[in-house]
Amino acid sequence: MTAELRTEGISKAFGGVHALDDCSLTVAEGSITGLIGPNGSGKTTLFNIMTGYERPDSGAVYLAGQNITGASAQKVFGLGMGRTFQLTRIFPRLTLLENMLVAAKPSRERGGLLARAGGTVDRRRARELLEFTGIDQYANALAGTLSYGQRKLLELATVLAADPAIVLLDEPAGGVNPSLIQTIAARIRDLNARGTTFLIVEHNMEFVMGLCHQVTVLDYGTVVAAGPPEIISTDPRVLDAYLGAALDDEPSPDGADA
């Protein structure tokens, strides 16, 4: 299976609020692509539509040339697309190793990294993934005792249990200390060098510009720019989107919100 992901003309409204409007983008196979934009620009809604958690009002989603529009999250996962969430989804009362084994269960039928012939879970491989993400020393600790950054790494490890061809990361650097941000970036580069494709939503511009090959910018649910980081970082439309958002967040002169 190839790992190209693209959307064509995706629109989505919640009541009278248009979260996405004719949104089209392409994530090339083998790339690390960033998806950026001000708060409320539609990034997470687009993620949810691509991964089966929301249905678009119009438009289409294609994975490896296959139309997956409206497919369930479980089916999308089974086709080789994994994702993380802005707020980590782990089992805090289970150990890290137990979290890995739970993550392995849905992948057994498709021969994921944690599956052996006959469906016996490979604990050794689970530990290898924990080691790869740098948290193997906590394998027998409760996941709820981890720092926020370590939880992000655990969530990444659980996603990798299914051996996805493409991974969507929702703010992997958000709320994470600088040293762990570097660890996360290094793991993404390692995986990408081995063939994994990434689409990353992130507000940390240093992280995005230093890691991604291509960057797509959303503003008010519409793609306003797409290209390599060095071009995007100086694009007037991008600067206007971010500066406009910053001004919208400024308090009014009398101290009340504008």
Decide if 8 is inside a domain: yes
Residue 256 lies in a domain: no
CA distance 36 to 7: 16
Residues 49 and 74 in one domain: yes
In this prediction, residue 114 carries a pLDDT of: 41
pLDDT digits (tens, 9 = 90+) for 216-249: 999 889 999 999 999 988 888 787 776 554 434 4
| Residue 172 and residue 157 share a domain | no
> Residue 254: inside a domain, yes or no?
no
- Do 142 and 242 fall into the same domain? no
Domain finish residue from 163, 186, 203: 163
3-class secondary-structure state, position 186: helix
- Please tell me which of 6-10, 78-82, 181-185, 229-233 the model is most confident about, judged by mean pLDDT: 6-10
Q: Counting every residue, how long is the chain?
A: 258
pTM: 0.83
- Rounded to whole angstroms, the Cα distance separating 104 from 100 reads 6
* Same domain as 113, residue 12: no
Q: Which domain holds residue 172?
A: 1-80+164-248
- Per the structure, the count of domains in the chain is 2
Selection from 30-34, 145-149, 158-162, 217-221 with the highest mean pLDDT: 30-34
What do you get for the CA distance between the two ends of the chain, in Å? 50
18: enclosing H helix or E strand: strand 17-27
What H or E segment, with its residue span, contains residue 10? strand 5-14
pLDDT band at 134 (very low <50, low <70, confident <90, very high): confident
The neighbour count for residue 187, using CB atoms within 10 Å, is 18
| Alpha helical stretches, state H, the chain | 43-50, 73-78, 96-104, 123-132, 148-160, 178-193, 205-211, 229-232, 236-248
